[in-house]
Amino acid sequence: MTTLTITAKGQITLRRELLQFLGIAPGQQVEVNKLANGVLALQAVAPHGLEAFAGCLPPPNKALSLEEINTIIANGWAGQT
């Protein structure tokens, strides 16, 4: 069990081990639910929109030149795959 200290402003800081356990990264939001007997449940808010998409694809094997990218785009518009 981890003990946290409340600051004069009424804030707490979660230790790194707790953040890692919850899968929370800096800047991410958390949701707190009030349960019975003064218990709080804390969970990470699932990213949505562009945040959820960013980083979901593996990095490419090699970087493409602008010429290669333009060729791919032109072929796509022409209906060629």
State yes or no: pLDDT of 25 exceeds 80: yes
List the beta bridge partners of residue 33: 41
Residue with tokens 């949505």: 48
For the chain, counts of helices (H) and of strands (E) = 3, 2
Specify the pLDDT at position 51: 65
State yes or no: pLDDT of 6 exceeds 90: yes
State yes or no: pLDDT of 76 exceeds 80: yes
CA atoms within 13 A on the CB side of 20: 3
- Report pLDDT digits (tens) over 31-69: 999 999 999 998 888 877 776 677 777 888 889 999 999
